[in-house]
Amino acid sequence: MLQDPLTLYKLIVLYMLNRVTFPLTKAQVSDFILEREYTNFLTLQQAFAELAEAGMLSSRPMGNRTQLAITEEGIQTLHYFDKHIGDSIKQEIDSYLKEHELTLRNELSVQGNYYKSTSGEFETRLVAKDRDITLVDITLSVPTEELAAAICANWQKKNESVYQYLIQELF
């Protein structure tokens, strides 16, 4: 077993990122690790920072989220130290990813953001993607921030039916 628990947390992060074919957000990885009480928030943030600094994961901001992806160096490191992750932890990660794959993927592919425009109105930008291909990108102008926030929240819930409606009406 590993002497340094921080190293195990880093390996868990790398293992999770290596087991999916799409990027995960920092929040998604954190939720899994923190819910199981493997470590605390601050230690996990240290693990993310050290992995990024060492070039083992890449991160890119995407709206109010940060996408994480394993790099080639991270894959090589994981391959070398893979045996230091317990089989029970690997099984837990694999089960979680299999059970939540669609939800995890959809969280990244559906985005709704809003901002106050120079006219004083609020602009909502609603995007749905599938494997980095933009399916729909809609900008709506609305009079209040409350309405903009509600539209973004509803987009998360109803994006598929809105997309289907648009396809039916426009084709």
The predicted-structure confidence for 40-56, as pLDDT tens digits, reads as follows 999 999 999 999 999 99
CB-side neighbour CA atoms (13 Å) of 145: 4
Do the Cβ atoms of 57 and 51 come closer than 8 Å? yes
The alpha carbon dihedral of 26, 81, 101, 39 has a sign of negative
The predicted-structure confidence for 67-113, as pLDDT tens digits, reads as follows 899 999 999 999 999 999 999 999 999 999 999 987 887 776 788 88
Res. 3 pLDDT band, cuts 50 70 90: low
Rounded CA separation 120/103 (Å): 35
Query: What pairs with residue 122 in β-bridges?
Result: 116, 142
* Helix (H) or strand (E) run with residue 76 in it: helix 72-81
Do the Cβ atoms of 63 and 113 come closer than 8 Å? yes
DSSP-based three-state secondary structure for 39 = coil
Give 147-167 as a DSSP string. HHHHHHHHHHHHHHHHHHHHH
Q: What share of the chain has pLDDT > 70, as a percent?
A: 95
Where along the chain do its domains lie?
Answer: 5-108, 109-170
Q: Looking at the domain covering 5-108, what would its CATH class be?
A: mainly alpha
Mode of pairing for the β-strands spanning 110-116 and 57-62: unpaired
Residue 33's contacts (CB-CB under 8 Å, 6 or more residues apart) are 9, 12, 13, 39, 44
To the question of pTM greater than 0.85 for the whole model, the response is no
